């Protein structure tokens, strides 16, 4: 079988590696428009459950990634100069470029030579392939070329965000909420290497307009964010990597394949950064597609199986991501709560965690929260 993979991100690389490893005689051509060393953003996050899911299918890759990851067990929320930790929420992170480098090496070791700096401008250029795997991201050429066939929909959140890095290391995955005279900001920050952290700045549309970010250069926006989060950065600077202001794009496709074309990762669906599952979903898509193709030798039947088995799982997570994003769309209102009520609102925002699960998952936080609630009910 001849397979073309569009996109050299985690999803495309992982599918190419996995299929070639299991089917050494297969011909796979992987096309990526950027250079091998180019990447957006800084660090990516995996939950403990995501790593265990990957380990069950491919322990060798997890063993290659794990030693280079930063890990922690708690989440820290910072509000009005106070902090609260929510225990039992385990995550690990790795630099996006480092993850890509590991996956690129695994692809090469499997016998594939990726074609970097290669721009595919039309799907017509891929005639002759039995299967086209579109892992070409949010602006997918394949999806855009056949929007009606895929039943594609694209919308955007109203909040603005800019993705930075910083040399300050943070002990846990942390979030800092800041109110200024002109509006409110939130920063998602976590370390992903011994010397670097991700620092994603978010604000509501009104704040973005009040600060005139529309008219600021990248450098001016960065300077403003450094000023707003000066206490959090503690003398460190922000690092930009094309850190422009964006609205989060919501991508969804009712049909996951059309003819011999199939979508995976961000080309297929997007999940808000507040639940940190984009890379995980792309890799899990690659695993699910591989299993479907192995279960059904007929490609149309295999692609139908891929959608039937994977879509309900993804839809559940994307629904939770939308609920989480809605909480962030109103975070200035939530900031009016006292610290513990705010933290409880935050950790239960996606609807996936109820009190019983929270007691089991985060016993220290929940004990503190329920004790405060009892005191409040008596007063």
Residue-wise pLDDT tens digits, 356-367: 999 999 999 999
21-60 tens-digit pLDDT: 999 999 999 999 999 988 777 998 888 878 887 888 888 8
pLDDT at res. 378: 62
Residue 313 domain flag = yes
- All residue ranges of the chain with pLDDT < 50 are none
Residue 118 domain flag = yes
Tell me how many domains the chain contains. Answer: 1
Distance in angstroms (rounded) separating the CA atoms of residues 339 and 336: 9
Distance in angstroms (rounded) separating the CA atoms of residues 331 and 214: 21
Residue 21 domain flag = yes
Residue 79 domain flag = no
Residue 187 domain flag = no
Residue 320 domain flag = yes
Distance in angstroms (rounded) separating the CA atoms of residues 372 and 211: 37
Mean pLDDT, the chain, as a whole number? 94
Residues 6+ apart with CB under 8 A from 345: 327, 334, 337
pLDDT at res. 141: 97
pLDDT at res. 274: 86
CATH code for the domain in which residue 141 is found: 3.50.50.60
Q: Across the chain, where does the E strand assignment appear?
A: 2-6, 27-31, 43-47, 70-72, 75-79, 82-86, 91-95, 131-134, 152-166, 173-180, 183-191, 197-203, 238-240, 246-253, 257-258, 261-263
Tokens of 78: 């910072």
Percent of the chain with pLDDT over 70: 99
216, 3, 238, 234: which is closest to 110 by C-alpha? Answer: 3
Distance in angstroms (rounded) separating the CA atoms of residues 300 and 130: 11
pLDDT at res. 377: 64
Contact 151, 22 (CB under 8 A): no
* CB-side neighbour CA atoms (13 Å) of 210: 12
Tell me which residue range forms the domain holding 104: 2-39+96-155+249-328
Contact 197, 168 (CB under 8 A): yes
Residue 122 domain flag = yes
Tokens of 55: 């380990």
Distance in angstroms (rounded) separating the CA atoms of residues 317 and 67: 28
pLDDT at res. 116: 96
Residue 333 Cα to chain centre, angstroms: 25
Residue 123 domain flag = yes
Distance in angstroms (rounded) separating the CA atoms of residues 278 and 249: 12
Distance in angstroms (rounded) separating the CA atoms of residues 120 and 122: 6
Residues 6+ apart with CB under 8 A from 292: 302, 303, 305, 306, 309, 310
Tokens of 292: 């479907």
């Amino acid at each position: 079988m001849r397979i073309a993979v569009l996109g050299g991100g985690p999803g495309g690389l992982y599918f190419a590696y996995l299929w070639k490893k299991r089917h050494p005689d297969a011909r796979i051509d992987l096309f990526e428009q950027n250079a091998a060393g180019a990447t957006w953003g800084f660090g990516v996050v995996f939950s403990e459950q995501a790593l265990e899911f990957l380990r069950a299918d491919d322990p060798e890759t997890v063993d290659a990634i794990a030693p280079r990851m930063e890990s922690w067990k708690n989440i820290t929320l910072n509000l009005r100069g106070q902090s609260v930790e929510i225990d039992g929420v385990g995550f690990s992170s790795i630099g996006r470029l480092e993850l890509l480098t590991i996956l690129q090496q695994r692809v090469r070791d499997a016998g594939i030579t990726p074609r970097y700096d290669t721009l595919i401008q039309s799907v017509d250029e891929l005639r002759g392939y039995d299967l086209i795997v579109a892992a070409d991201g949010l602006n997918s050429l394949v999806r855009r070329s056949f929007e009606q066939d895929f039943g594609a929909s694209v919308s955007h959140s109203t909040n603005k965000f800019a993705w930075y890095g910083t040399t300050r290391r943070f002990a846990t995955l942390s979030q800092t909420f800041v109110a200024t005279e002109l509006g409110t900001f939130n920063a998602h920050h976590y370390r992903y290497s011994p010397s670097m952290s991700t620092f994603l700045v978010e604000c509501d549309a009104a704040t973005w307009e009040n600060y005139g970010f529309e008219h600021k250069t990248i450098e001016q926006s960065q300077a403003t964010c450094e000023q707003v989060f000066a206490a959090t950065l503690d003398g460190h600077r922000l690092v930009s990597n094309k850190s422009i202001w964006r609205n989060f794009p919501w991508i969804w496709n009712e049909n996951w394949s059309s003819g011999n074309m199939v979508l995976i990762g961000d080309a297929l669906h997007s999940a808000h950064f507040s639940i940190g599952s984009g890379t995980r979903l792309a890799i899990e898509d690659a695993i699910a597609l591989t299993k479907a193709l192995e279960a059904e030798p007929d490609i149309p039947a295999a692609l139908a199986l891929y959608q039937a088995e994977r879509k309900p799982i993804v839809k559940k997570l994307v629904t939770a991501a939308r609920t989480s994003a809605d909480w962030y769309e109103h975070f200035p209102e939530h900031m009016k709560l006292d610290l513990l009520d705010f933290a409880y609102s935050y950790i239960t925002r996606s609807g996936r965690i109820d009190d019983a699960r929270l007691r089991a998952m985060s016993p220290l936080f929940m004990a503190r929260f329920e004790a405060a609630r009892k005191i409040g009910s008596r007063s």
